[in-house]
């Protein structure tokens, strides 16, 4: 039934909502330097609404929950962050129709990145959230598909890459978004959207570490539907939970 | 009949642009939507979706002002049943051009969109 996945998604949302409440002032300070000073308030309002919304969804599947995260962000977060985060969660949620697995999470991450790039028209180096999401997604994909890391460990690598991407936004000049109107005066300021991306990803990593173990997926063996001798491990198990 | 949806960061700006365009619009339906949904400056995909859904004939050209208005309009179009296109045009001039074009008995979504886009070529001085 995907109960574990549902709880994991809710826990991740709880962590993100708590983090946004804690960092509201910080994100707004970043945004007041190069934007319109509403990113902290917007992200906080959005994720508090998400927290309330999905707490009521007791029978939803993982993709339905994540889609609801997106729909709620679209209607609650203003500025560019609403359509970029919300619309991307909505679109990418389709990749989780068969549950959250190593493979589906890579597909989700790629779909999310592609939607952000399509919607916003930004590429790496424009001083936007794309600078944080791109290295994170590429690192996650490589860690899973080439380095055979467990998802929790791959997420830790992705967080490191994301953090480097956030730092990369500081010395460069904005060519997209509100900050681009400032031209060279945008140099020296960290991008708020890239920063909120890092906070979201850190919360997802912390949730994955708790549910899957740090590079050790035995936690999933608490599921009553795990068949014996399934060499595909965690991903197959969760797929079967869904079916 | 093709309708128009005017999207601005300011509700008053959207209403004002609608007022100007309506002078030339005949029976063309024009919906104005602006602000972040909470009385502030911004745009909201769900509010734009409501405006699109209010277009009675199911086809609309969307005129937008700045920045995230484009993204929210795109998202609103994806969520709405109304067949709509965003004009690559200055919002006021595009709205007036589109309104005039929409009064033609032969108007189509494409012809109204094209008329709106031509507003980008208008030289003022």
Interface of B with A in 4-63 (CB under 8 A): 36-38, 40, 42-46
Cα–Cα distances in angstroms (integers) from residue A69 to residues A158, A161, A227, in the given order: 21, 24, 31
Q: pLDDT tens digits, residue range A72-103?
A: 999 999 888 999 999 999 999 999 999 999 99
Distant-in-sequence, close-in-space partners of A58: CB < 8 Å, separation ≥ 6? none
Q: Does B75 touch chain A (CB under 8 A)?
A: yes
Q: Which of residues 77-96 of A touch B (CB under 8 A)?
A: 78-80, 82-84, 86-87
Does the pLDDT at position A2 exceed 80? Answer: no
Whether A231 shows a pLDDT value over 60: the answer reads no
Contacts of B45 in chain A (CB under 8 A): 74-75, 82-83, 86-87
CA A77 – CA A38 distance, rounded (Å):
10
Segment of A168-177, A207-216, B38-47 carrying the highest mean pLDDT: A168-177
Cβ atoms of residues A153 and A143 within 8 Å:
yes
Residue A225 has pLDDT above 90, yes or no: no
Q: Do A78 and B71 touch (CB under 8 A)?
A: no
> In angstroms, rounded to a whole number, what is the distance separating the alpha carbons of residues A238 and A214?
18
Which has more confidence, B71 or B37?
A: B71
Q: Do B45 and A74 touch (CB under 8 A)?
A: yes
A151 shares contact with chain B (CB less than 8 Å): no
Query: Read out DSSP for A14-72?
Result: HHHHHHHHHHHHHHHHHHHHHS-S-HHHHHHHHHHHHHHHHHT-SS--HHHHHHHHHHH
How far lies B78's CA from each of A93, A97, B58, B70, in Å? Answer: 15, 20, 14, 12
Contact B33/B79 with Cβ under 8 angstroms?
A: no
pLDDT of residue B66: 87
Q: Strands across the sheet with B59-64, in order?
A: B30-34, B3-8, B59-64, B83-86
The pLDDT of residue A242 is 39
Predicted local confidence at residue B124, as pLDDT = 87
Q: Is the ipTM of this complex over 0.85?
A: no
pLDDT exceeds cutoff 80 at A1: no
Confidence check: pLDDT of A8 > 70: yes
- For residues A90 and A73, what is the distance between their CA atoms, to the nearest angstrom? 9
Report the interhelical angle of A102-120 vs A234-242 (nearest 10°): 80
The per-residue pLDDT for A214 is 61
Q: pLDDT tens across B11-35, in order?
A: 999 999 999 999 999 999 999 999 9
Chain A neighbors of B7, CB-CB under 8 A: none
**Mean model confidence pLDDT for chain A:** 89
Average pLDDT over residues B70-99: 96
Residues of chain B with C-beta less than 8 angstroms from the C-beta of A82: 44-45, 68, 72
Question: Does position A239 have pLDDT exceeding 50, yes or no?
Answer: no
pLDDT digits (tens, 9 = 90+) for A115-151: 999 999 999 999 999 999 999 999 999 999 999 999 9
Considering only the beta carbons, identify the residue of A38, A74, A80 that sits closest to B67.
Answer: A80
Give the pLDDT score at A135: 97
In this prediction, residues B78-105 reach a mean pLDDT of 96
Residue B39 half-sphere exposure, CB side, CA atoms within 13 Å?
A: 0
User: Which tens digit of pLDDT belongs to each residue from A15-74?
Assistant: 999 999 999 999 999 999 998 899 999 999 999 999 999 999 999 999 999 999 999 999
Select from A79, A83, A178 the Cβ nearest to the Cβ of B75: A83
How high is the pLDDT of residue A243?
36
In chain A, the N- to C-terminal Cα span, in Å, equals: 7
pTM of the complete model: 0.84
Q: Reply yes or no on whether the pLDDT at A217 is more than 90.
A: no
φ and ψ of B32, to 5 deg: -110, 135
| Region class of B123: left (phi > 0), else alpha (psi between -120 and 50), else beta | beta
Confidence of residue A237 (pLDDT cuts 50, 70, 90): very low
B67 to A75: CB separation less than 8 angstroms, yes or no:
no
A83–B74: do the CB atoms touch at under 8 Å? yes
Q: Of the candidates B63, B51, B50, B58, which has an alpha carbon nearest to the alpha carbon of residue B96?
A: B63
């Amino acid at each position: 039934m995907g109960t574990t996945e549902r709880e994991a998604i809710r826990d991740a949302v709880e962590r993100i909502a708590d983090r946004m409440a804690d960092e509201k002032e910080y994100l707004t300070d970043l945004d007041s330097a190069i934007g319109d000073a509403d990113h902290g308030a917007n992200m906080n309002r959005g994720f508090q609404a998400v927290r309330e919304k999905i707490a009521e969804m007791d029978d939803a599947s993982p993709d339905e929950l994540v889609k609801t995260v997106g729909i709620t962000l679209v209607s609650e977060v203003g500025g560019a962050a609403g359509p970029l985060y919300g619309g991307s969660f909505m679109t990418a949620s389709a990749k989780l129709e068969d549950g959250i697995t190593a493979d589906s999470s890579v597909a989700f991450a790629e779909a999310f990145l592609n939607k952000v790039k399509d919607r916003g028209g930004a590429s790496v180096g424009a001083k936007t959230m794309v600078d944080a999401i791109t290295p994170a997604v590429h690192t996650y994909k490589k860690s899973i598909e080439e380095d055979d890391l467990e998802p929790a460990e791959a997420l830790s690598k992705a967080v490191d890459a994301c953090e480097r991407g956030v730092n990369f936004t500081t010395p460069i000049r904005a060519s997209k978004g509100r900050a681009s109107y400032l031209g060279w005066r945008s140099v020296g300021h960290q991008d708020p959207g890239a920063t909120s991306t890092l906070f979201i990803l850190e919360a997802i990593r912390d949730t994955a570490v708790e549910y899957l173990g740090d590079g050790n997926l035995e936690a999933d063996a608490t599921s009553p539907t795990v068949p014996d001798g399934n060499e595909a491990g965690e991903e197959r198990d969760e797929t079967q939970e869904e079916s | 009949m093709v309708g128009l949806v005017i999207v601005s960061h300011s509700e008053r700006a959207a209403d004002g642009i609608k007022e100007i365009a309506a002078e030339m619009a005949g029976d063309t339906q024009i919906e104005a939507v602006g602000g972040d949904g909470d009385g502030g400056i911004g745009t909201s995909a769900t509010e734009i979706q409501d405006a699109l859904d209010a277009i009675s004939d199911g086809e609309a050209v969307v005129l937008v002002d700045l920045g995230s208005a484009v993204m929210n309009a795109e998202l609103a179009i994806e969520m709405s049943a109304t067949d709509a296109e965003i004009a690559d045009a200055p919002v006021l001039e595009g709205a007036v051009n589109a309104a005039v074009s929409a009064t033609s008995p032969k108007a189509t979504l494409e012809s109204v969109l094209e008329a709106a886009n031509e507003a980008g070529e208008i030289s003022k001085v």
